[in-house]
Amino acid sequence: MINEDQVEQLAIEWFQELGYDYIHGYDISPDSPTPERTKYQEVLLHVRLKNALIKLNPTLPLTAIEEAIDKLKKPSFPSLIQNNREFHKMLLEGVPVEIKKEDVTKGERVKLIDFHDIFKNDFLVVNQFTIKGTKGNRRPDVVVFINGLPLCVLELKNPADENADILKAYHQLQTYKDEIEDLFIFNEALIISDGMNARIGSLTATDERFMY
């Protein structure tokens, strides 16, 4: 009988077949030899994000890229839903920045994803990504990053455990939303699965709105 670890590994293999790179969460943790975060509260992969934005916005100066990253790291609103809505708009339209040249200020937008040529983006899937939350460390099963942005979270359950169905996975995500809110500012999709069934929903979706 398949167990939860096997479900997790199977999901990772599917992402790899789609062209995603794979890294275990520990291998990029702040305590690892090859960290991609400076502290466990951080949810953005800063260097990966910066390199991607430079590549996607070759005509913009580095100052514009850094301004865009600062805006991503400093949410504008007290509400998770408001911040998520703001991020979604920036994901689609770009991050508004100002560029000064010869005493003239010009508005530009920093593109976060290339929707036309997907191969220009950086795709990464990470399991056991530890995040320090309000009640200690939390470790979502799988986090999907595109250009260093955590756009999707997968919560998986053991199909052999009758008490751990996908509804339990849904409730686990609700706990995460309360305790590691920063991760979900950037969320575009939530996925729950027990290895036999899988559903996908948005940040605000009730369990009935998670669709097969």
Give the tokens for residue 110: 């920093």
Residue 164 has pLDDT above 80, yes or no: no
Residues 43 and 28: beta-carbon distance below 8 Å: no
Q: Which amino acid is at 64?
A: A
53 within some domain = no
Query: What mean pLDDT value characterizes the chain?
Result: 93
Range of the domain at 195: 4-45+117-209
The verdict on residue 205 lying in a domain is yes
Tens-digit pLDDT profile for residues 38-69:
999 999 999 999 999 999 999 999 999 999 99
Whether 3 shows a pLDDT value over 90: the answer reads: no
Q: Is residue 202 in a domain?
A: yes
pLDDT of residue 162: 67
Average pLDDT value for residue range 127-141: 93
Tell me which residue of 153, 136, 131 sits closest to 144, measured CA to CA: 153
φ/ψ of 15, rounded to 5, equals -65, -40
pLDDT mean over 122-138: 94
Comparing CA positions, the residue from 8, 15, 19, 210 lying closest to residue 129 is: 8
The single-letter code of the amino acid at 130 is: T
Among 32-36, 78-82, 205-209, where is mean pLDDT lowest? 205-209
Q: Is the pLDDT of residue 125 over 70?
A: yes
Contact in structure between 175 and 156 (CB atoms under 8 Å): no
Write down the pLDDT at residue 103.
79
Contact 141, 159 (CB under 8 A): no
Q: CA separation (Å) from 100 to 46, 54, 56, 68? A: 24, 18, 20, 15
Contact 193, 44 (CB under 8 A): no
The answer to whether residue 102 sits within a structural domain is: no
125: domain CATH number?
3.90.1570.50
Considering its fold, how many domains does the chain have in total?
1
